Amino acid sequence: MDPFGLFCTGALLACGLYWFVCLLGPAEQKGKRAVDLSGGSISAEKVQDNYKQYWSFFRQPKEIETAEKVPDFVDTFYNLVTDIYEWGWGQSFHFSPSVRGKSHRDATRLHEEMAVDLIEVKPGDRVLDVGCGVGGPMRAIAAHSRANVVGITINEYQVNRARLHNKKAGLGSLCEVVCGNFLEMPFKDNTFDGAYSIEATCHAPKLEEVYAEVFRVLKPGSLYVSYEWVTTDRYRGDNPEHVEVIQGIERGDALPGLRNYKDIAEVAKKVGFEVVKEKDLAKPPALPWWTRLKMGRIAYWRNHILVTVLASIGIAPKGTVDVHEMLFKTADYLTRGGDSGIFSPMHMILLRKPQVPPTQS
């Protein structure tokens, strides 16, 4: 081949590599690039060790998997997966029902806006996002409602990412992010005009603990809505395939244990909430939420190849491949859970904190 032909071939390969590595893959504009994948707050040389520690949690006997260990376990998980989620999925770490004629991004935004519409907040109200991640829902909700949204996440790396995105979106004045445990929130009693959690409280070892904290910080008469991960009425604990799917979801998503849909309202009542409405948003006529996972199989394989290449040449931390493979397998379990109808990530419950009884004269 003549020099000109070699030059053209090299230029074509270089452009193709740049497109594959730097441009292909980010799910949202201003999101993560493949070359920027990291282990969150974990140093690059310790990512693989932390991945092994994460899996060791599930190998321990149940009696020593204490609730005290769960926050650190969840924090480790989000250090490992945050960049991969943001790069391959977007800034909203949750599912939503598919909407005919709408993109996944639009369907996600509508699902988030519905949450804040349900709690009936007004512009200027102070709203709590319980488990905010990198703040995708927070920004959509603040822009839609013009409420002041305060998000809490246990992961410091997510706090920094959320603040960066808030600033880029021009929503820094409406969005505040706090690093903390939603089981022990650093807020005063009767502080917020409303609260929501979108697929976040599934990480709590005991649901009543996080519901009790939300109850404490809400003003009397205020509303709280939560989208819960649950097993449905189709789940059978004596069916080995059902058990395998649910355990696969738990292990791949840092869940101490999935709850049955029947338990949610009982827990809410136990801590003092009034149940206003309860509905599984995944049920028909809603279109399947898991089609996004099915349609993403080619993207998963493409991304896995890319992560493998980047890790092998030292750009991505050692251990990133293992984390990405774990998420790929988890996507299969989630799809099977959705297809079979034994699992829902969007069991919606709308709750009200009762008004304080009038004082006796």
Q: Where are the domains of the chain?
A: 46-356
Cβ atoms of residues 272 and 218 within 8 Å: no
- Token code pair at residue 356: 């304080």
**Residue with more model confidence, 126 or 361:** 126
How far from chain centre, in Å, is Cα 326? 16
Amino acid at 98: S
Query: Of 35-39, 55-59, 275-279, which gets the smallest average pLDDT?
Result: 55-59
**Residue with more model confidence, 28 or 145:** 145
**Cβ-defined contacts of 310-316 (< 8 Å, 24+):** 310/21, 310/34, 310/35, 310/37, 315/35, 315/37, 316/34, 316/37, 316/38
pTM here?
0.88
Q: 166-175: string of b/e by CB count within 10 Å (b at 16+)?
A: beebebeebb
Mean pLDDT for 266-280 is 97
Residue 301 is predicted with a pLDDT of: 79
Orientation angle between helical segments 297-312 and 70-88, nearest 10 degrees: 100
Residue 204 is predicted with a pLDDT of: 94
CATH number for the region 46-356 comes to 3.40.50.150
Confidence of residue 25 (pLDDT cuts 50, 70, 90): very low
Distance (Å) of CA 271 to CA 30, 184, 259, 341, 353: 41, 15, 17, 29, 10
Mean pLDDT for 238-267 is 95
Residue 64 is predicted with a pLDDT of: 39
User: Is 274 in a helix, a strand, or coil?
Assistant: strand
- Percentage of the chain modeled with pLDDT above 90: 64
Cβ atoms of residues 273 and 245 within 8 Å: no
- Percentage of the chain modeled with pLDDT above 70: 86
pLDDT digits (tens, 9 = 90+) for 168-194: 999 999 999 999 999 999 999 999 999
**Residue with more model confidence, 361 or 285:** 285
Residue 358 is predicted with a pLDDT of: 47
Query: Of 21-30, 184-193, 266-275, which gets the smallest average pLDDT?
Result: 21-30
For the chain, strand residue ranges (E) read: 126-130, 148-153, 175-179, 192-198, 218-231, 259-260, 274-280, 343-352
Query: Of 3-12, 130-139, 160-169, 338-347, which gets the smallest average pLDDT?
Result: 3-12
